[in-house]
Amino acid sequence: MLYNDFRRWTFESIDEYFQTTQTRSLSSLEELLEHCHTPDNFETTALMRLQENYLLSGDDWNEVELENKFISPLIVFSGIENKEFSYFLERPLSATINNTTISGYVDGMIASGFRSPKKPYFCLNEYKRQSDPNGDPRGQTLIAMLAAQAHNNDNNPIFGCYVIGRTWNFLALEGSQYAVSSGFFCTDDGIFRIFSVLKALRKRIETMIAKSA
């Protein structure tokens, strides 16, 4: 059975219906993961303050609190917000793939546009728990990435991330292949790796926009 609501999809059902394949690595994802950003004193202080806030009570936050108190501040602090592309919350996204229309709301989306999203490059979903009655975090992220890919209708990779509590996993989608990173913990030195990936993502989006201009 085909579903059009993002929350109904899992990795297994996506692979079955859309002929996608998970692979161990993709060059676009490795490029982000290998990027090394050395934070300056100001960035280090801000990141440690965010981390302290999470360590104090983050495991007790609900999803709205997790998004507003930690995820959004970290993403915006990486320099995503500008007049060419921005970080949008709870925006609708839809596309038709193989005569199947899929649609839903994306928890977080980095897309071209200033006041409203135009071309999506990155989709994020956040969950409080690994198992959630409203869907599978991995599947919901991937199906949104597939919708973004179809919406853009170009050969650029689509990036994504799902956050479960303190753990961040990054994804890349190239054609019909996707890869998932190991988890990074925001409660240890992983927060600096997360920040570095976001910095690399910003540079990659800038390059894709420049090439399409």
pLDDT of residue 81: 87
CA 146/CA 142 separation, integer angstroms: 6
Name the E strands within 11-155. Answer: 21-22, 85-97, 100-112, 120-127
Element (H, E) at 196: helix 190-212
* Token pair belonging to 160: 């994504």
* 147 CB-side CA count, 13 A: 25
Instruction: Output the pLDDT for position 2.
Output: 53
Instruction: Return the pLDDT at 127.
Output: 78
Q: Domains of the chain (ranges plus CATH)?
A: 6-212 (3.90.1570)
In order of 43, 76, 196, the CA distances from 55 in angstroms are 18, 20, 20
Low-confidence residues of the chain: pLDDT under 50: 1, 130-131, 133
pLDDT of residue 131: 47
Collapse the DSSP code of 180 into the 3-class scheme (helix H, G, I; strand E, B; otherwise coil) and give the result. strand
Is the pTM here over 0.85, yes or no? yes
Query: Closest Cα partner for 182 from 13, 3, 32?
Result: 32
Number of other CB atoms surrounding residue 161 within 10 Å = 27
